[in-house]
Amino acid sequence: MYEELPMGVVFPQTTTDIQKLVRKANREQFTITARSGGTSLAGQATGNGVIMDVSRHMTNIYDINAREKYAHLQPGVIRDTLNREAAAHNLLFGPDTATTNRCMIGGMIGNNSCGIYSIKHRTTREHVLEIEAVLSDGSLVRFHPVDEGELQEKMKLDTLEGHIYRGMVKLINQNREQIQEAYPHPDIIRRNTGYALDRLCEMQPFDPDGRKFNMAELLCGSEGTLAMTAAAKLQLVPTEPHRVVLAPHFTSIRKAMEATVEAVTFKPAAVELVDHIILEATKGNIEQRKNRFFLNGDPYAILIIELDGNNREELLEKATKLKKRLSELGLSNSTPIIEDEEDIKKVWNLRKAGLGLLMGLGSDQRSPSFCEDTAVRVQDLPAYVDDFQEILDKYHTDCVFYAHASVGELHLRPVIDISKPEGIQKMEVMAEEIASLVSSYRGSLSGEHGDGRARSPYIEKVLGTEMMPLLRKVKELWDPNYLFNPGKIVKPKPISENLRVSPGYTKPEVNTLFNWRKEGSFGNAVELCNGAGVCRKLAESGGTMCPSYMATKEEKDSTRGRANLFRQLFSGRQANAFESEELHDALELCISCKACKSECPANVDMARMKAEFMQGWHDRKGIKLSERFFGQAAKLYPLAAAFPGLTNRILTSPVGKELLHTFFNIHKKRTLPGFAKQTFSNWFKKRNRKNMSKKKVLLIADIFSDYHDPAIGKSAVKVLEALDYEVLLAEISDLGRPQLSKGMLDAAVKLANRNIPLLAEYVRQDIPIVGLEPSEILTLRDEYLDLCNENQLELAKTIAEQSYQFEEFIVKELKEHPKKQEIFLNGDTEIELHGHCHAKALVGNGPTLEALSYAGYSVNDLETGCCGMAGSFGYEKDHYGVSMDIGELVLFPKLRDKESELQSGSALICAPGFSCRHQIKDGTGARAYHPAELIARNLL
């Protein structure tokens, strides 16, 4: 919700670097805000001083001790990375936030992150054994459990550490009863309001029966305001071998809350609420639509309840009893039980996408996070939700309800447009009333996402006026000069200051060639990114987004980094932003893979935004010869193909490579694909037609298949004719993909408006359109709907509905006519599939997997992310290194693991994308096949 411009950014490599930075801050009097991708949503990671980012270098896991069940590590370690390492010992770090594929341990400590399984694993605080911290004078201290004797020794130290121990012990001794009365109810697991003084009150010597005194618990949830985490020792717990999930459906939030009270008596590992607004948003997200498989109709809300343990049969019995109980109480009449592990992952992926989906709903559905982190006792939830609804009704707004029902915490996000003055006023008044409501239930204003900028002004409402001097005393004991993350927890600014979107924000209004019909405008598209940071996940976490970030770890190479630049530049300088060197540099390594269009919860389409920017850049700065070479290949191909032998010799000769390098920016280690002796289109015209069926299909042979790989087109014809179709060859070969990738939108618009009437003649006759190159044919289903003129839009939609990837069409035909499956052999060859990025983003790998399975193959989806070639990207000398680095992330190593099977012929590689096949050849020496070639092989 907040945005500040820092004076600089520091990427420390060692603890010593952090100490040097802190000492420099003392000398020069600047502030430090530490960040490492935690789960803060209240402005904790913004500051106008120096941002200290540990995510780049401080990522070492020093040790995982399986016998004593702990891990010793640096703060930049990603939570899922830790758990992948710990899994080898059947251990895990329990707190499981929705952001575990990119949130880091330092951020989780600073925020006391909790997540889905907090009813079982509680919070980060319960798992932190020790913290190595840099104090505000630059000294390094290890905080760990100390007995009374050790505590006395600490208090004698003539150092800042000794001063802190003396001050904290005195503060607790003098105020213990008041603290325990003022703080949230101890039954609330997730209570992070203010500093965790109530936790210290539970320890020795204040409670003789308590645990040993450990200041590390205070640092958890302190939001980087007291000390800088340099390393930590974390308790790990054993993994459970089995789990079962129930997903009861409800007609109201109230019924879901009543069901939660019932569910927790069954000792679940998790009970999560997802409301109708999030469920509706999943329909519009390509990645999440496939995760809706368990939903029956359109429930108003669902709970996701997980049971885990050692005995699968007992879990199923317990699940069945809970399902029956909810039905008997009249709470839910539809409660799917999910047992399969892969299906369970899909259910949780849908839940974890919730926040990002919400934040990407657009300006009409803005839900700022000013009150979304409240927690009360579980038994108070039904009444609390009713009272909260009264506040919503009073201010004539709706609310999103979701998250951690099992522990009494709901993320409540009222819909308020804070880009308008009346929206700001409504937010401020509601924040006051909600804080008072939380106080009346003795609840916590901050359950996990922290106080930060948004909730610190209301801590006094919840804890009481007498607690505020104590919180300030804590801050000043640790950080007397307010160098560490000022304005959080104590001495906060008003909630309405430094807002990212506010009444002063200017929505971008520029002339564009895309129509941006779905988003409403280019300005709305620029605002879609919400900073959720899914694009910062690493390759080992799976998925494709964002390939260049995975390779470089540079924020500017992430979808979020680029989107932030778009918003900042276009909302300020407007059309001049098309001349921005900074944005041009940030987009340099964007390979237009479109993974963000599906994997980003907000559906940011950076490929489209890049194309729009590059058109504006070209208009003002001109277009390079190398860009024209790749973007207008269709104009050059007929000449090159007229003398294929000569052309190929030139392309592969030292002189030819030197010329390509000098004039067209092509790396010398790359060899451009050779031209076939006979193009596919020439072969098609001269062949003897075998099938004059009444059923017809229009085949689009893109220029790459036509001129370089005619065997693919021949194979496709063979398969389609075997399915009793007469194949028509489209006179169109250029749909505009090269132009789009090079930002030549003006040319792409002309192609779209020229091609649509030509293709419309076929769809009017119900002739389906089939393409061989995924990125080409999917252009009809994606970009054409935004490139075409208004008077051609309905035609474009019809064409999109009747356009298929080759594999999609095969699957459709075989499903509609199962008898036709008999035309294929059953073999024992295994296919290793590397999916095309555009296909994965817009359709998924499902059709390719199914088509190859129908053709008698055993198919393995390699789940390889991006290959790194991305059309012409990997050929270019400036991008060759990054291209190969991307290939080395997942694809190349996985293929090398299959080397013996590939060499023996017991396995073959399938890669639908032209450039993917060439990248595989260059990176591993292996040959990859188009699905049409493989399917044709297995025809009877």
Instruction: Map out the domains of the chain with their CATH numbers.
Output: 242-454 (3.40.462.10), 522-624 (no CATH), 680-937 (no CATH)
- How far is Cα 258 from Cα 389, in angstroms, rounded to an integer? 16
Say yes or no to pLDDT of 359 above 80. no
833 or 572: which carries more pLDDT confidence? Answer: 833
Whether residue 813 contacts residue 777, with contact meaning beta carbons closer than 8 Å, is answered with: no
| Beta-bridge partner residues of 698 | 728, 769
A 10 A CB-CB count for 902 gives 21
From the number of C-beta atoms within 10 Å of its C-beta (0-12, 13-18, 19+), residue 816 rates as exposed
pLDDT, average across residues 58-81 = 97
H or E segment at 884? helix 880-889
Say yes or no to pLDDT of 410 above 90. no
A 10 A CB-CB count for 741 gives 23
235: CB partners within 8 A, 6+ apart: 69, 70, 126, 127, 128, 129
Q: 813-864 pLDDT, tens per residue? A: 999 999 999 999 888 899 999 999 999 999 999 999 999 999 999 999 999 9
pLDDT at 505: 77
The mean predicted confidence, pLDDT, of the chain is: 93
pLDDT category at 351 given cuts 50, 70, 90 is confident
Q: 235-274 pLDDT, tens per residue? A: 999 999 999 999 999 999 999 999 999 999 999 999 999 9
Give the DSSP letter string of 489-536. Answer: SSSPPPTTTTBSS-TT--------SS--TTTSSHHHHHT---S--GGG
- How far is Cα 383 from Cα 410, in angstroms, rounded to an integer? 13
pLDDT, average across residues 200-205 = 96
pLDDT category at 724 given cuts 50, 70, 90 is very high
Q: Long-range contacts: 882-889, Cβ < 8 Å, 24+? A: 882/548, 882/551, 882/552, 882/589, 883/919, 884/922, 884/923, 885/551, 885/552, 886/547, 886/548, 886/550, 886/551, 886/591, 887/919, 887/923, 888/923, 889/539, 889/547, 889/550, 889/551, 889/865
- How far is Cα 112 from Cα 126, in angstroms, rounded to an integer? 9
pLDDT, average across residues 490-513 = 88
Residue 89: HSE in the Cβ half-sphere, 13 Å Cα cutoff? 19
pLDDT, average across residues 618-641 = 91
Highest mean pLDDT among 361-365, 779-783, 821-825: 779-783
Q: 885-912 pLDDT, tens per residue? A: 999 999 999 999 999 999 999 999 999 9
Phi then psi dihedrals of residue 82, to 5 deg: -60, -45
Give the DSSP letter string of 447-460. Answer: SSS-SHHHHGGGHH
The tokens describing 750, both together, are 């002309």
pLDDT at 690: 63
H or E segment at 432? helix 421-440
pLDDT at 827: 81
pLDDT, average across residues 492-503 = 90
The tokens describing 695, both together, are 């059923």
Which of 341-350, 506-515, 740-749 shows the lowest per-residue confidence on average (mean pLDDT)? 506-515
pLDDT at 365: 54
Say yes or no to pLDDT of 455 above 60. yes
Whether residue 223 contacts residue 111, with contact meaning beta carbons closer than 8 Å, is answered with: yes
pLDDT at 524: 87
- How far is Cα 473 from Cα 467, in angstroms, rounded to an integer? 10
- How far is Cα 98 from Cα 91, in angstroms, rounded to an integer? 20
A 10 A CB-CB count for 917 gives 26
Say yes or no to pLDDT of 361 above 60. no
pLDDT at 289: 84
pLDDT at 767: 97
The percent of residues in the chain predicted with pLDDT above 70, rounded, is 98
pLDDT at 299: 95
Structure-derived torsion over alpha carbons of residues 739, 743, 749, 752, reported in degrees to the nearest 10:
40
Residue with structure tokens 């059947």?
Answer: 90
pLDDT category at 939 given cuts 50, 70, 90 is very high
- DSSP three-state, residue 129: strand
| Beta-bridge partner residues of 400 | 413
Say yes or no to pLDDT of 362 above 80. no
923: CB partners within 8 A, 6+ apart: 867, 884, 887, 888, 891, 892, 895
pLDDT category at 501 given cuts 50, 70, 90 is confident
Ordered alpha helix ranges (H), 606-679: 606-621, 625-631, 633-642, 644-652, 654-664
pLDDT, average across residues 178-188 = 96
415 or 923: which carries more pLDDT confidence? Answer: 923
pLDDT category at 463 given cuts 50, 70, 90 is very high
The percent of residues in the chain predicted with pLDDT above 90, rounded, is 82
pLDDT at 356: 63
pLDDT at 529: 87
pLDDT category at 218 given cuts 50, 70, 90 is very high
Say yes or no to pLDDT of 364 above 70. no
pLDDT at 616: 95
SS3 readout for 557-597: HCHHHHHHHHHHHHCCCHHHHHHCHHHHHHHCCCCCCCHHH
633 or 329: which carries more pLDDT confidence? Answer: 329
pLDDT at 363: 53
Say yes or no to pLDDT of 24 above 90. yes
Whether residue 908 contacts residue 929, with contact meaning beta carbons closer than 8 Å, is answered with: yes
Residue 175: HSE in the Cβ half-sphere, 13 Å Cα cutoff? 20
